[in-house]
């Protein structure tokens, strides 16, 4: 029983750090943790997928602070349900989401999972981790 509790604590700690929580890029320990239906990728892995294919890419950060090249939609993290028409109708299609630090996208991932999306991929650490990895962010003066 004690080993199970330790294992669960270890898994939750890894998820929290991967999502930009405790010790992550300037975010707090109260960051939401995505469910099992969400994959969290490092900036390098996230970038490899984007470069290899054409996943549906969504920036959920508000206010606008830049974007990853090729972003398909801008949906505020707290208005995902209200903006469902901006998302792919196929709930099994890969849906790649990100924000500035990972906190907003973690919340959006939970909402997307609740909406029935089964293939949600979240960028660990958001655009902050992306730029720390040496990857470019596009900033349009007029925003989305």
**Spans of all domains in the chain:** 2-132
According to CATH, the topology of domain 2-132 is Oxidized Rhodanese; domain 1 (3.40.250)
Q: Cis before residue 63, ω within 30 degrees of 0?
A: yes
Q: What is the pLDDT of residue 35?
A: 54
Spatial contact of 57 and 71, defined as CB atoms under 8 Å apart: yes
- Please state the rounded mean pLDDT for residues 111-138: 97
Which pTM value belongs to this model?
0.76
Contacts 24+ apart (CB under 8 A), 79-83: 80/108, 80/111, 80/112, 80/115, 81/111, 81/115
Binned at pLDDT 50, 70 and 90, residue 141 comes out as confident
Q: Which two tokens stand for residue 99?
A: 């924000």
Interval 39-93: pLDDT, tens: 999 999 999 999 998 899 999 999 999 999 999 999 999 999 999 999 999 999 9
Q: What is the pLDDT of residue 24?
A: 38
């Amino acid at each position: 029983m004690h080993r199970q509790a330790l294992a669960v604590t270890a898994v939750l700690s890894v998820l929290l750090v991967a999502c930009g929580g405790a010790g992550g890029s300037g975010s707090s320990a109260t960051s939401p943790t995505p469910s099992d239906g969400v994959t969290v990728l490092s900036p390098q892995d996230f970038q490899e997928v984007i470069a290899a294919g054409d996943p549906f890419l969504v920036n959920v950060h508000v206010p606008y602070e830049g974007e990853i090249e090729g972003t398909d939609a801008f949906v505020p993290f707290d208005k995902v349900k209200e903006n469902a028409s901006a998302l792919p109708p196929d709930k099994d299609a890969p849906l790649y989401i990100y924000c500035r630090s990972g906190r907003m996208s973690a919340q959006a991932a939970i909402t997307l999972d609740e909406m029935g999306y089964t293939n949600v991929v979240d960028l660990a650490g958001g655009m902050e981790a992306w730029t720390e990895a040496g990857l470019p962010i596009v900033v349009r003066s007029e925003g989305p």
